[in-house]
Amino acid sequence: MSSLIKTNASGELGLQAMPHPQTHGTAQTKPRKSRWPARLDVLQSATGLILAVFLMAHMFFVSTILISQQAFYTVARFFEGAYFFARPYPALVSCVVAVVIALFIGHAGLAMRKFPAGFRQFNAFCRHKNRFHHSDTSLWWIQAWTGFALFFMATIHLYDMLTQPALIGPFESADRVWSGNMWPLYLALLFAVELHGGIGLYRLAIKWGWLEGSDPQRSRRRLAIVRYSFSAFFVTLGLVTLLTYIDLGRAHADHAGERYIPPQSISSVDRR
């Protein structure tokens, strides 16, 4: 069985096709190759890319707390449509979250096709990885594990955002992070998602030949530098942001549950 397990150029596991008993040795009845594996690959790349772009934007929105409480409040109300309609509609946030959940489930489901199925494949892959010492194959392994962790950690956060869209704001978020004990989850989620996203974008670039120069080795090295910088930048931004929420949450702990009221609360777009 293990002789049937192969990895492709990007280090992904797959089963070698068995020759069909009736067509073995004859050329005339060669079965047509299905296009579905390629289509599913494109779909997996596309959902991964959309999620990665969403997460970069998400980190910038969430980190507006570093500017001021009012800045984060403004961003939160913006996504509730408060500046387009007469009042904020938190359900709009739930709609965006629902789309993100659909993409997340789709992406995870497509990625699962490539996970080792059963102990033998798992073992074969580990032996292959250890013997091969190929950095991109090891990266795939890290991505598989961080992706697996995201199944659980991201789901908790997404469910929270889906069902409590109105509780996004400077005090509301800080209370959730500190008094609601979400900070350990966010800390682990931050590392898992930034590692996963950084490796994912790097692998996408390699797979589809983006930014490929005349010297493949050199472009691979350059892409690796971009990958490290990407993860380092977003992990640092996330840590500083998380620390700010923790700080604010601790200071607000005695009033946990109280909503943020902006200084100019007479404005027509503020929450009543």
List residues binding ligand HEM (CB under 6 A): 55, 58, 62, 93, 96-97, 100, 150, 154, 157-158, 161, 168, 173, 176-177, 182, 186, 189-190, 193, 238, 241-242, 245
In the complex with ligand HEM, the residue whose CB is nearer, 144 or 189, is 189
**Least separation, in Å, of the C-beta of 144 and ligand HEM?**
16
CA distance 259 to 169: 8
Considering the complex, what minimum distance in angstroms separates the CB of residue 203 from ligand HEM? 17
Q: How far is the CB of 57 from ligand HEM (least distance, A)?
A: 10
Taking alpha carbons only, the member of 56, 59, 62 closest to residue 248 is: 62
Is the distance from CB of 125 to CB of 1 less than 8 angstroms? no
Residue with tokens 């800390």: 187
Residue 189 gets the label, from left (phi > 0), alpha (psi -120 to 50) or beta, of: alpha
Tokens of 107: 């992406």
Smallest distance from ligand HEM to CB 78, Å: 12
Nearer to ligand HEM, 138 or 179 (CB): 179
Q: What is the largest CA-CA distance in the chain?
A: 82
Residues 6+ apart with CB under 8 A from 108: 147, 150, 151
Q: Which residue is nearest to ligand HEM (CB)?
A: 173
Compare residues 144 and 242 and give the one whose CB is closer to ligand HEM: 242
CB of 76 to ligand HEM, least distance (A): 7
* SS3 state of residue 264: coil
Decide whether 107 or 203 has the Cβ nearer to ligand HEM.
107
Looking at the Cβ atoms of 96 and 256, the one nearer to ligand HEM is 96
